[in-house]
Amino acid sequence: MTVSVRPGHNAPTGSDDSAPGTSRRRFLGFLVAGPTLVAASQIAVETANPTPAAANVPTGPEPGDLYDLGQLQVLATKVTSNLITVEVHKDGTVSFAVPRAEVGQGITTTMAMLIADEMDIPIHRVHVTLSKARPEFQFNQLTGGSNSVRSLYAPVRHAAAIARKRLVDTAAARWRVDASTLTVKDGVIHASDGRSATYGSLTKAAAASRPLPMTADLKPTDHLRLVGKSHNRIDAHEIVTGRKKFAMDHDVRGALPTMVCRPPTIKGTVKRVRNRAAVLKMPGITDVVTISTGVAVRGRTFGQCIDAVRALKVTWADGPVGHASDADIIAELHKNELPLAVPDVSPLAKTIDLAFTFCFASNSPLETGTAIADVRAKSAEVWACLKAPIVAQQAIADRVGMPLEAVTVHVVQGGGSFGRHLFHDTALEAAEISKKMRKPVKLMWHRTDDFRQGRVHPMATSRIRVTVQGDNVLTYEQRHTSVSTDFGHGFGDLVSSFAGTLPGFNFIGLAQTVFELSQNMPYEYGLTDQVLNEVDMDFVTGSMRNIYSPDVATARELMTDRLAREMGLDPYKFRRKFLKDDRGIAVLDRLAKAGDWGRKMPHGTAQGIALHAEYKGFCATLVELDCRPRTVKRKIEDAYTGPRVTKAITVVDVGLPINPRGLEAQMMGGMMDGIAVALTSSLHLRNGHFLEGSWDNYWYTRQWNVPPKLKVIVMPQTTNQPGGAGELGVASAKAAVACAYARATGRMPTKFPVNHDEPLGFDPLPTTPSVPQSPTNGLDKIY
């Protein structure tokens, strides 16, 4: 596959290998000492390459254009990425422990593709596991920011290339021929005279007895067979046969089911347990102990733990959120909103103000919080899905009072994350419980707790003021005011090391840094200023897939449609006119054509179009939304129907797509997320707790909300660097749905999700007991 750079194409922001032939392929790697070959690599440094603004009223590069969050992460990993290693075994298999968490984004498949391609071996011989927490990785063991492929693409290819070269050199030495005369196919090295040897037969001879630097060349991109072509997930067979193991599927000796009785308010604490002895006598129960977050029970089965949790009589102290409700939080946000500026523009310019509210949302995956912990007198072992396992290891060591080296943290594959597993809440609880009980525990959060007490996407408001004159947007100011987002998962280390060295940039606080680096303006809106202001209100918050962008972009795209109307332009044509980057225009054009933009739509239905740029990629979405009464009022038992997206198309350009099928999957998921947060799903805060306690309360997109027509188009390669993909689809999907809603109903939505203030469509579960009992009438519902 060759790089295609279109004529007149602006240099993509921040990428140094965008033009054909300039890719720096010779690099330095290492051999690590071992009985068989272990190859390691170091990362090459990305350089920033600011784009000169073009046309209309130029918008200068924002911090997010110069350095995006992903680049910061890549730079931060530079120091320790020589620890990325690839090991070749005597049976010809190659193993790689990736310092990341696999949570459904397909990272293990992507890594296997890169290694198989670089080494010329069949992909089924590449075994990718998840590395346990290794403090020596320092900042290079963090999964987030859609960054895994961006930060590992080069070092993994390097390590694989080093391994290949070493094996070929070993064969060349053995056969006394020039290495350049040898070829490799399917893990077998061939000499021109017919001699051959497998990688497996050479790995012992190729091994190093001490660390050894060596240079190698990466394969030219057009020699890669797998990269750039669709590949199915390497763990798919395991999944469809039920063999893929998640945390609770591991049998760790003695680790019995454990659950926690939690307070009726957020971050409430235990004052007194009134019937511990009685609960201890319940069937199957082995232990009942008070911990920092509630009362833990351990027993033979989870069902018996649920019984015990429900039987506990606990006196609680209220948490810091007290008995607040949504309205209180909105009022507090309004109080803290920074005033919008009065821009110094011509008196002939028109000012347009818009304001939006985004409600609390949940990133609870289908798999609830789970962890296994076995804490002994002088050592501790924990299994959990963790995106920042080093931070978890440190926190656990502190909690159990042991040195870091005494704690082993195994990273387990997760049943989704969406940002949740950046935190180690469950692993830490499990360690605390195991230590107090002096027994191994298999901790699982109840579904209801996972919504009510788990991490949440914070409530926020976003106000935008634009000034426009004639054909030009002169200024764009966006003030995003949010309940504070917790970034305590080790991100602070990354930023504090590097923020001071960024050009023209002051370290102004972690959340604001993330905001500044993740938000960029794809349109020429003149003087642009996007600022985040956070208010700490003691909620348990965290980053939810795409963090600020879905909210910020939705506000921006609604304003964009408003501006289009002001200038008498169609939303697609307006965006096309104002887009800064040719890659964005290409994506938008492709989308408008594929989605038949502008086709006549029945009354009560409409198309919506939106674009978002982040992680060095571009993503645009077109939806058709049906808001007609017969659709909105569909009756499905215990379900939310409402407006339905009947067609959804996303076009995505990530620079270098490594696995188009995997990329499509991420975009589809992002689209489902966007539909959910735009139309149906939120947490209602009432009296100090969130009401939602099941998937028939928290209405994430279900089959009856799914667009029957859905398509993802992956643009051909535009740069030499893979952009981030895991989160990219959410913002433009949410925004497109919002824009379609405005056009279909004639009313611009200003609160999200659109259904939040409708009469509650479910009966909230009680807060005491904290979890509901499982039904017993299952056999009445077979089909």
Partner 1 sequence: MPKHTFILNGKRVHVDCPDDVRVLWVLRDILSVHGPKYGCGLNVCKACTSHINGKAFNPCSVPISDIKTDDEITTIEGLADTVKGELHPMQEAWLEMDVAQCGYCQPGQIMAAVAKVKQAHAEGRKIGDKDFDEIRNICRCGTYHRIREAILAGAKKM
> According to CB under 8 A, which residues from 174 to 233 bind partner 1?
232-233
Task: Considering the complex, state which of residue 168 and residue 248 has its C-beta at the smaller distance from partner 1.
Answer: 248
User: What character string, x for contact with partner 1 (CB under 8 A) and - otherwise, covers 565-604?
Assistant: ----------------------------------------
Q: How far is the CB of 648 from partner 1 (least distance, A)?
A: 9
Which contiguous run of DSSP H or E holds residue 70? Answer: helix 69-77
Nearer to partner 1 among residue 412 and residue 473 (C-beta): 412
143 vs 462, beta carbon nearer partner 1: 143
Burial class (CB in 10 A: 0-12, 13-18, 19+), 43: buried
Determine which residue in the list 22, 129, 496, 774 makes contact with partner 1, applying CB under 8 A. 774
Q: Which is nearer to partner 1, 145 or 670 (CB)?
A: 670
Out of 696, 745, 750, 761, point to the residue binding partner 1 (CB under 8 A): 696
Question: Nearest approach, Cβ of 672 to partner 1 (angstroms)?
Answer: 3
Q: If residue 476 lies in a helix (H) or strand (E), which one and from where to where?
A: strand 472-483
Q: Could you tell me the smallest distance in angstroms from the CB atom of residue 412 to partner 1? A: 12
In the bound state with partner 1, the residue whose beta carbon lies nearer, of 43 and 728, is 728
CB of 548 to partner 1, least distance (A): 20
Q: Which of 33, 45, 236, 317 is close enough to bind partner 1 by CB under 8 A?
A: 236
> Candidates 24-32, 80-88, 514-522, 707-715 — which segment interacts with partner 1 by CB under 8 A?
707-715
Q: Binder to partner 1 among 21, 568, 708, 759 (CB under 8 A)?
A: 708
Give whichever of 522 and 595 is closer to partner 1, judged by the CB atom.
595
Element (H, E) at 63: helix 63-66
**Calpha distance 553→557 (Å, rounded):** 6
Work out how close the CB of 781 gets to partner 1 at its nearest, in angstroms, rounded to a whole number: 7
Nearer CB in complex with partner 1: 175/700: 700
Binder among 704, 716, 746, 760 for partner 1 (CB under 8 A): 704
Here the tokens at position 38 are: 């272990």
User: Are the CB atoms for 700 and 652 separated by under 8 Å?
Assistant: no
346: Cα within 13 Å, side-chain hemisphere:
9
Dist CA 391 CA 488 (whole Å): 9
Question: Minimum distance between the CB of residue 40 and partner 1, rounded to whole angstroms?
Answer: 30
What span, in angstroms and rounded, lies between the C-alpha atoms of 493 and 100? 17
- Subset of 247-306 contacting partner 1 (CB under 8 A): 248-249, 251, 257, 283-284, 300-304, 306
Residue of 583, 772, 781 lying closest to 693 (CA atoms): 772
The site for partner 1, by CB under 8 A, has a size of 75
Shortest distance in whole angstroms from residue 238 CB to partner 1: 8
Nearer to partner 1, 227 or 502 (CB): 227
C-alpha distances in angstroms, 292 versus 65, 243, 268, 274, 377? 43, 35, 9, 17, 20
Q: Which of 475, 484, 470 is nearest to 559 (CA)?
A: 475
CB 192 to partner 1: min, Å: 39
Give whole-number Cα distances, 79 to 155, 340, 442, 493, 494, in Å.
12, 42, 36, 13, 11
- Looking at residue 579, what DSSP letter applies? B
Site string for partner 1, 321-350 (x = CB under 8 A): ------------------------------
Q: Which is nearer to partner 1, 76 or 667 (CB)?
A: 667
**Is the bond preceding residue 753 a cis peptide, omega within 30 degrees?**
yes
| Residues numbered 71-130 forming contacts with partner 1, rule: CB under 8 A | 103-106
Residues 6 or more apart whose CB falls under 8 angstroms from that of 180 comprise none
Q: State the nearest-atom distance from the C-beta of 685 to partner 1, in Å.
A: 21
Q: Residues 609 to 668: which contact partner 1 by CB under 8 A? A: 636, 638, 661, 665, 668
Residue 279: partners with Cβ closer than 8 Å, 6 or more residues away: 285, 288, 297, 308, 311, 312
Q: Which residue has the tokens 């949440």?
A: 456
Stretch that binds partner 1, among 536-544, 553-561, 600-608, 706-714 (CB under 8 A): 706-714
Cα distance between residue 95 and residue 87, in whole Å: 5
Least spacing, CB of residue 241 vs partner 1, in Å: 7
- CA–CA dist 741, 744 (Å, integer): 5
SS3 letters across 359-409: CCEECCCCCCCEEEEEECCCCEEEEECCCCHHHHHHHHHHHHCCCHHHEEE
Handedness of CA 292, 298, 303, 309 (dihedral sign): negative
Contact with partner 1 (CB under 8 A) among 601, 700, 745, 748: 700
Residue whose token pair is 């409430």:
268
Q: Of the candidates 459, 465, 616, which has an alpha carbon nearest to the alpha carbon of residue 530?
A: 465
**Region from 56-64, 183-191, 409-417, 561-569 binding partner 1, contact rule CB under 8 A:** 409-417
Q: How far is the CB of 370 from partner 1 (least distance, A)?
A: 9
Stretch that binds partner 1, among 326-334, 412-420, 474-482, 506-514 (CB under 8 A): 412-420
Stretch that binds partner 1, among 399-407, 463-471, 560-568, 671-679 (CB under 8 A): 671-679
**Closer residue to partner 1, CB minimum distance, 244 or 436:** 244
CB of 730 vs partner 1, minimal distance in Å: 10
Q: How far is the CB of 93 from partner 1 (least distance, A)?
A: 22
Q: Three-state SS for 263?
A: coil
Q: Which of 195, 243, 271, 274 binds partner 1 (CB under 8 A)?
A: 243
Q: How far is the CB of 771 from partner 1 (least distance, A)?
A: 8
Q: Pick the piece of the chain touching partner 1 (CB under 8 A) from 59-67, 215-223, 604-612, 699-707.
A: 699-707
- Residue type at 390 in one-letter notation: I
H-helix segments, 683-779: 729-745
- Show contacts with partner 1 in window 356-395 (CB under 8 A): 364-368
Contact assessment for residue 481 and residue 356, using Cβ atoms and an 8 Å cutoff: no
CB of 775 to partner 1, least distance (A): 4
Q: Which of 354, 569, 710, 748 binds partner 1 (CB under 8 A)?
A: 710
Torsion angle, CA of 566/568/572/573, rounded to 10 degrees?
-120
Phi-psi sector, 322: left (phi>0), alpha (psi -120 to 50), beta = left
Phi-psi group of 600: left, alpha or beta (phi > 0 → left; psi -120 to 50 → alpha; rest → beta): beta
Single residue of 7, 8, 242, 503 touching partner 1 by CB under 8 A: 242
311 near partner 1, judged by CB under 8 A: no
For partner 1, the binding residues in 733-772 under the rule CB under 8 A are 772
Residues 433-472 that bind partner 1 (CB under 8 A): 444, 446-447
Identify the helix (H) or strand (E) that includes residue 591: helix 582-594
Tell me which of 701, 719, 720, 732 binds partner 1, using CB under 8 A: 701
Q: If we measure between CA atoms, which residue out of 469, 473, 465 comes closest to residue 349?
A: 469
